[in-house]
Amino acid sequence: MATETFFALESFFMNQQFYVVTDGSAIGNPGPGGWAAVLVNGRMQWEISGACSWTTISEMELMAAIQALRSIPAGSKVNLCSDSDYLIRGMKYLTTRWRNQGWRNRRGLPLQHQGLWRELIQVEKEVHIRWTWVRGHSGHRLQARADALAYAEARQRLLALQHAA
């Protein structure tokens, strides 16, 4: 029965349109970090989030996008919004160049966060995506929510680390 329900939901969401807003946070940068995404499909809205003990904001921005796209059925149309210029510019303009340069930057140095970029490229292939930059802390309701969730995850991880010490 559970499998039938899963396939019914999967076929319902197939070729659906999703609006996704992601954000990442790190306290200390590097330090404890969190990522979050707010996903909208029609009238349905839900949130996902997670944390890491030692990370950077850039890593959490990438992880938020990866986890959001993993949670959306293949074949769906997605408008993914982020306040991370690093994420949006990377996916829109730079990944092809990085691949052609052997995952090296313009100075010939190995690209930072290469594993996360490769993973993001793989999950991106499963959906039809539009990458959109939104200004952070500008009153965008869903971006503010993703920001608050990501920071809460980072803060919770920091408190857990302090308690364990």
Positions marked catalytic: 23-24, 61, 83, 137, 147
d(CA 133, CA 97): 20
Tens digits of residue pLDDT in 65-123: 999 999 999 999 999 999 999 999 999 999 999 999 999 998 999 999 999 999 999 99
Which homologous superfamily is 15-164 in?
Answer: Ribonuclease H-like superfamily/Ribonuclease H (3.30.420.10)
What is the SS3 assignment for 105? coil
Confidence band, pLDDT 50/70/90 cuts, at residue 30: very high
The answer to whether 150 touches 32, Cβ cutoff 8 Å, is no
Closest CA to 81 of 22, 29, 35: 22
For the chain, the structural domain boundaries read: 15-164
**Continuous H helices in 52-111:** 57-70, 85-89, 95-100
Question: Which pLDDT belongs to residue 1?
Answer: 47
Return the bridge partners of 79, or none. 19, 130
Tens digits of residue pLDDT in 35-72: 999 999 999 999 999 999 999 999 999 999 999 999 99
**Whole-structure pTM value:** 0.90
